[in-house]
Structure 1
Amino acid sequence: MNLTGQLSGDIGSLSELQYLDLSFNVDMTGSLPQAIGSLKKLSTLCLTGSGFTGPIPSTIGSLQQLVNLSLNSNRFNGQIPNSIGNLSKLYYLDLTNNLLEGSIPVSDGINPGLDMLLQAKHFHLGMNKLSGTIPPRLFSSNMILIHVLFDNNNLNGSIPSSLGFVQTLEMVRFDRNSLSGPLPSNLNNLTNVNELSLSNNNLTGAMVNLTGMNSLSNLDMSNNSFNASDFPPWIASLPSLITLKMERTQLQGQVLVDLFSRPYLQTVVLRNNHFNGTLNIGTTYSNQLQLIDFQNNSITNFTQNTGNITLLLEGNPVCEQTNQVAESYCIASSPNSSYSTPPNNCLQVTCNSDQVASPNCKCSYPYKGTMFFRALSSLDLKNSSYYSDLAEFLMQTLKSYALPVDSVSLSNPTVDSSGYLELSLEVFPSGEESFNKTGITMVGFVLNSLIFNPPSLFGPFYLIAYAYGNYAVLAGVYAFHQKKRAERASEQNNPFAHWDVNLGNGGVPQLKSAKRFSFEELKKYTNNFSEGNSIGSGGYGKVYQSTLPTGEVIAIKRAQRDSMQGGLEFKTEIELLSRVHHKNLVSLVGFCFEQGEQMLVYEYIPNGTLMDSLSGKSGIRLDWMGRLKATLGAARGLVYLHEHANPSIIHRDIKSNNILLDESFNAKVADFGLSKSELDSERNSVTTQVKGTLGYLDPEYYMTQQLTKKSDVYSFGVVMLELITARRPIERGKYIVGEVRKAMDKTKDLYNLHEIIDPFIGLGKSLKGLEEFVNLAMRCVEESGDKRPTMDEVVKEIEKIMQLAGMNLSADSEPSSANYVEVSKGSSHHPYNSDSFGYSGSFPPSMIELQSK
């Protein structure tokens, strides 16, 4: 917006204001007025990257509707107000990169504190001057935090064991403080943590065993004073490990060869320790391994071929041997580099003193700035490929917004004292000597850290741009309507502009279970997407069956052009799907996102949808026992989404067409993919565009326009009625819920539902538990959500019904002739044909809600 001056106290008169975003107005100065506390309806206060000074006003604690408080990258000083603890709806707290000092406030019976923010998921307090200890009272098992980022402060004392009670945590950063003492023994309770950074402290004692932290992908304990010990064997057992950094941690002996076979491992930094003997990385090391740094140890022997892996052994005895001195791994790597983007095969030109030659050898006035990345300490600054990849990625991003950019140049990479990589940036105009004001604004907008996601190697960043002519610019110039307009234009011109999997993407979570397939791979597996491999189609595109070289059978869902998501939406969807694992949910095997294609690869489910079974289309009919088994499986899948996924997931489109049957007739829930998400400040949840299915939609939605977990329960109740009637929810103008309710007579056998019950269910046989099943279904479809059970309660009731029917709950994998009736043998009709097929992860806007627990 390029606003200047101070924020007037008159802002307090805007009593109906709900959203205030003054981000990236570097020339806004002065303090935040106390009158800000009068904006009682404010849900978002975002002042990121502006010039505010002075203390944060205590009146901010009066904003009871506040969900997002982002005051990062200003010059606020003084202490963090205790009153922030009164913000009971707060979801996101970001005070990073200010001048805040004093202790972290917690409640004391009189004054509030941050420990009272039980709905918060983000505590970002890094890069300040905070001191004192991390209060044990700050954390509790009632919290749902996922990020605790306290790096680059002056905190001392020990890490409190109460941290281990917050089992929702995904990222913990306490690096670059003065913390001391031993690590809490319960750290391994944090099984969802994927990044743990404790480097550059004074931690002592034994290195705690982190076995069980199966999500841990980035571990950094460098530069501490732990007890001298051999390499901990538990490190080699971490299944998701990507980056391991333990520089100067008193480790000795030899590294277990199993470490290097971790499937996702990319970076190992163990320099400045006491490892000795032979370094052995084995023959089955990770194909993603990029860097092994053992500089300044006592390694005496290494003879393996490491291929394209960068190996650093300088400062070890092995490099003092005559025949090893010339080996590349014995050549010292300088800390900084004089790299500059080279010319693009053109003749160098001489420019006027105030102009600069671009990589395309054209003289002009470039947009200049410095990019600051949270660098890996292991980054080899002399490796020019890092910077050429980044420059290409920057160029692609700028071009995707149709900006007149000739080229991009990067130079002078250095790492500062806080561990941030600094890179000088120049963006050159195309066709003119300089950018006009609109061009400058748009370049700054696109390079805003809210828009541009760099390759994952570089991680999160911010950019400060220099004065340009008469314009003072800051990358991150943010006007809401401009942002939306540019996003729409980018999506229309290039739906993949925001993310290229070949170059990676920043931030966490990392994809661990989903494989990235190239377009050529999937083209080969499907015989060039031949009709012979096609097994289904719908409004989104086609589905193809194939077999991987491993023998695994897969289903490939290929989006057609008009049903594709935006790049960020597609990225969010596969990140979500790759984290959701349950035997009653369809598993994502991988994805493809290149050459104008969006494809999702799933496990192949051979027996089609529950709808196809009930209609006879699949050639398979389930009897009563088989239907109970399918009901329990689908219900368990939903309980996982509601109660165990993090964040919890509201499916929003439960129907028989989204429940698939595997080879043993176990039910698997599909179509729980994410698209078009936005923060719902009223419910502290992430919601998506609503598009339910007629006949399954919660009646309360028509009044509230909100879908909840109880909405899923309603839809599931409709599916239960389908299971006993084999009728669609609305058939020949009649609604299944109303028809069952009208026909029911609890004084009669089978509740007088003989005319409605599907004959294939096994009429004439004993249908033990059917009446209880109907009772449960009718409770699920109560008009009021308050009267419906939870899915967890539904599972318990179904288990009781199955026991009443004489079924063994543990025998839920092997089929038997008593579970199903196979009809139409030899039918050429594929169970997933036509519009009935629906694997999870739809490309059009799907029905899901991520909700705080």
Structure 2
Amino acid sequence: MGSTIWVLLLAFSVQIYITTATTDGRDYAALRSLTDEWQNLPPSWTGADPCGDSWVGIECTGSRVTSITLPNMNLVGELSGDIAMLSELQQLDLSFNRELTGPLPGSIGNLKKLKNLILVGCGFIGQIPYTIGSLPQLRFLSLNTNGFTGHIPPTIGNLSNLYWLDMADNQLEGPIPVSNGSTPGLDLLIHTKHFHFGKNKLSGTIPSKLFSSDMELIHVLFESNKLSGPLPSTLGLVQTLEVVRFDNNSLTGSLPLNLNNLTNVHELFLSNNKLSGPLPDLTGMTSLSTLHLSNNTFIPSDFPSWLESLTSLTIMYFPLYHQIFRAFDLVQDHAPMMGSIKLQGQVPTTFFELPHLQAVELESNQLNGTLVIGTSFTNQLQVVDLRNNKISEFNDAGYNFEIVLVDNPVCMETGKTDKYCQLPSRKSLYSTPQKNCVSGSCRSSQITSPTCTCAYPYTGTLLFRGYTFAELGNTAPYLSLEQALMKFFQTHQLPVETVSLSDPRKDQFQYLLLDLSVFPYGADSFNRSGISMLAFAFSNQTFKPPKEFFGPYVFNGDKYEHFLDDARKLKNSSTAIKIGAGVGALVFFLLLMLAGIYAYRQKMRAERANKNSNPFASWDSKKSFGDSPQLKGARCFPFDELKKYTNNFSDACDIGSGGYGKVYRGTLPTRELVAIKRAQQGSMQGGLEFKTEIELLSRVHHKNVVSLLGFCFERGEQILIYEYVANGSLGDSLSGKSGIRLDWARRLKVALGAARGLAYLHELANPPIIHRDVKSTNILLDERLNAKVADFGLSKPMGDSEKGHVTTQVKGTMGYLDPEYYMTQQLTEKSDVYSFGVVMLEIVTARKPIEHGKYIVREVATSMDKSTSLYNLQEILDPIIGLDTDTIPHGLENFVDLAMRCVEEARTDRPTMGEVVKEIENIMQVAGLNPNAESASSSATYEDANKGTPHHPYGSKI
């Protein structure tokens, strides 16, 4: 009895779960598309309700997914273009998933509500799509440390709300884009605080237009690129700047004098360029703490007196040869000499009295005379490195900081043993101390925390692009950083016990690297939510390091393999197996009977409910046709197969789009090409209407009508599969977009083919069909330029009870829309005739129906003069028509006459499509063409209920 109750309760809970699911169906389908592409998914990603089932990293507002934060989840795969279906998404963070590769889909530009796009430290490749500039609310754009190539999309200049822009450490190349006429550029980002573009391959000069006094930039980082030319003087207009890096480029010329205006800059890196002229006077840069000017071609000069005015100066780094903290015997990188940059004369004693000075590195200059440091030097001074100069005397007063005078005359006496004449030995660098922990007390794969607990910490590398301290062994900055980290974690209630910092070092790019370990609180490892929150704090720059020591940074999280929830799931699974094995034999038979009875009853109930609500429930999808619906030739395609045919609906297969959604080119296993039309959210029909449409179109078979091959009705999708028509649309050819030139004979042939297709729909289809959206973009051209009528999304079948007309909601495309249908809402076949008449006028003019406020029908009617050659339409006609002949195109006047009859105001004055076919055939025969031979828009879609009395759609003002 207890087992029976248990089974019933289980089944009841499943029913409740299904009926109370909250996630929007389209959002669920999008997330499922991601799961199809990704491996190593979080274990919580199960069930049909991501919002209600608390999928890790998924946050919802109501039923809509608004945030995906999955940094450091070890995801493997590519980002599906179906991400664009999450129309309410505001935040996407997939950082530190290094095996998340492939291109960034262009459809990401459809996420109009996205505010944060953070993909730090992934494996994305290819060009950054230009659609990235179509995200009006974007504030954070972090694409750094990937493999992106190509140019910086100039469309980024459209992101007027952007705060943070980081594309560093990629393979981007080409010039820095700035605005030019209608083309946007980075100079338009006046409210952006951060430009981070270091470690790329950007080239060309730095546009002077890039900077202006309106900008609010704090960080401008273009280090380690291939930029050339001068540093523009407009840089000095951005008085909000704090960190400027243009080192490791090929900049030339003198530095602009107005750099003095940058009173807030505290870090200036210009080393390893080809800058020339005199040393700049930087007296006005009163906040400057770090100055790197080495490896340039400045004119030799005496020791600059203005240096003594920089009271905030911490590091004076000006050796002739670039060398990375040689005082600590770290990795050395001798860059080639760029010319005879030589500081001359004596170093003034007063220079060492600067209150914040920590390091003076002036190797390989021509400083001479006696070095006098005196007794009033700052107590923060840690190193004075003047090796390879011409200093002849020095009185060592037993200073407690490091002095290096190797390769100076003062040290060249035989047998000289003074400490300052020896290269310094490596000092022990910083590592967070432990509290007398017993070594070997943890398992081999665990690490001992500073508080002696054994755990699996979250680790990574903090990379600082700016810093204001000199000695790597100095403990003060690291202690301050540790305290800031712990305060942040505690304030944000993150499950952190303690942190550990170690191995401070510098690389060849003058970045400071620091290893970080974060230890979990109350357990030996983090769960996935904990790792996600920790990684997000760094990827989203929520954590701010102490400003007095550290500048801009980036974090690279290591792979984490000891998720607590994964381990618990495995342990619980093992325990459940043991328990189940022990008691299973006792209750197996009873449970099997009860479950079978219950499952059978539920199946019958579900089938009845499904049959009532799902029009496909009783249809065998394995057959090409069946009793319901009645299909001829079309079949049902599984969604997974369509994904394979379109390379997961990739942008490379995108061949068109509209209000309904997108059309993709697909390749069947037979190598046959197909066009796959996928409806988007908001444009989908009900299931019954969709079934009616495919049933109708499956019975349409004519050489001038695009054939429906199949459909898909899974996972909330509505997809139609058509034959692939190779040469695009008539509209593309008339506009020149397709590159296909249509002479007069070909245009007549296309018009005849389209007319025959429409006549078939009106007169021979069963039931007759009114297309309702005839336009040049819905007339496709195959490989032999035969016309095929396409896109039946608005089509309307005419039943026996609807002979003459049917009253219906007005749908169609403005410019082609029948004004009588618009005014009366009464639809007839003559509405298609009117639209086709507009297409005929397009054929002879190559103009859009509505262009610059002018309606093509009115323009032709106003200009027509039948008493003159070509009806006085020379200014309107497409000049291409007559390129192959010196005479008037045969039959053109008759063609225009027919078109104007088709667009008569009253439907009773218009011909039928059958009559249109006959007249075009006659025009071709008069022109000496065989009508049966094989041939080698800004308009907006209109759909309105037209409440009240409608006005004429093409009045005097459009």
Q: Normalising by the residue count of structure 1, what TM-score does the alignment of the two structures yield?
A: 0.49
Larger Rg: 2
Greater RCO, 1 or 2 (C-alpha within 8 Å, sep 6+): 1
Q: Normalising by the residue count of structure 2, what TM-score does the alignment of the two structures yield?
A: 0.44
The structure in which a higher percent of residues are helix is 2
